[in-house]
Amino acid sequence: MKGSDWKPGAIVLAIYQGNWAFGGFTTLNYGSEEIQIENFRKTLPRACLGGLVISAVIYVLVNASYFAILTPQEVIDSDAVATTFIQRTVGNDAAFAVPAVVGFLLIGTLNGDIFGWSRYMVAGSRRKMMPTCFSLIHVDNDSPRVSVFFHTFTSIIFAFLGDVDQLVDYLNIVSILTTIFPLAVLVIIKWKKMPVAADPVKYSIFWPVLNIIIMIALLVIPIQQDPISFIIGFSMFLGGVVVYFVVKFIVNHTKFLGIIDRKLTHLCQILTWTVVDLGPGEKTHL
């Protein structure tokens, strides 16, 4: 398309902005313990691929509709492309409904995001990588209420930290780095044929290797075009690693943080009517 920037760095930065829109399938990874269905090994890959294909088809059709009515410059200049599109096709009166429709659609997005990341925190807490209070689940419906509240509260704070697009670039770099390492571990597990589960989802080692190559390319290519974002994102990642090991060292060599952890967990239990989750089928009142 005329006026498009086909530089590899520009394409990767565009992928950073669009990557989140295709990331809904990861909810299945974080919430797999709660999927109570038969033939789990076949259903999970089908759900992942189905979500990606459906999302891709919808996004392509929507963007084709935009460019059939609007010029590329109008898309760039518009603060809300959907609103501009409705104004040009239906009229100004209907454009007022667009924010309401977008807000309604975001309910599903927030539901998946909060569901996935709260379970991520629960898993980390169960393995002593995060405070015990994050592994608390409700006694009746098993919802991780403390993790849900913490994730929601921090998300609201991040929403007020300035340029959201720049923040997305930073977090995408962190996300890519935190994806590369588990994928590398997965390759080692599959290469050495280590047993990890009684009923695992099996696939060729080719896919995690290909994913690692793509992730490294997405990480390295835009460095020349936007080195500041890479430096800040990489620093955030290293900062998280350093903080983790420092806190882990303090916990292992002092009782101070352990006492705070127990007191905080008891307080959260009282406020949220929850118990500590030790894994599938196991709970304790601490």
CA dist., res. 6 & res. 251, Å (int): 50
pLDDT of residue 110: 82
pTM of full prediction above 0.85: no
pLDDT of residue 258: 86
* 114 CB-near residues (< 8 Å, 6+ apart): 148, 151, 152
Residue 245 one-letter amino acid: F
* 275 φψ region: left (φ > 0), alpha (ψ -120 to 50), beta (else): beta
Asked if the structure places residue 14 within a domain, the reply is yes
pLDDT of residue 166: 77
Asked if the structure places residue 3 within a domain, the reply is no
Count: domains in the chain: 1
By the 8 A CB rule, do 174 and 229 touch?
no
Asked if the structure places residue 1 within a domain, the reply is no
137 forms beta bridges with: 275
Asked if the structure places residue 99 within a domain, the reply is yes
Asked if the structure places residue 2 within a domain, the reply is no
pLDDT of residue 279: 66
CA dist., res. 268 & res. 100, Å (int): 35
- In tens digits, the chain (286 residues) has pLDDT values of 666 777 777 777 777 667 767 767 777 777 777 666 667 777 777 877 888 888 889 889 998 999 899 988 888 888 888 889 988 888 888 778 888 888 888 887 788 888 888 888 888 888 888 899 999 998 888 889 999 999 889 888 877 877 777 777 788 788 888 889 888 998 998 888 888 776 676 778 898 899 899 888 888 877 777 788 888 888 989 998 999 898 888 888 888 888 999 999 999 999 998 998 876 655 554 4
By the 8 A CB rule, do 81 and 63 touch?
no
pLDDT of residue 150: 92
Domain span at 90: 8-284
* 232 CB-near residues (< 8 Å, 6+ apart): 170, 173
Asked if the structure places residue 209 within a domain, the reply is yes
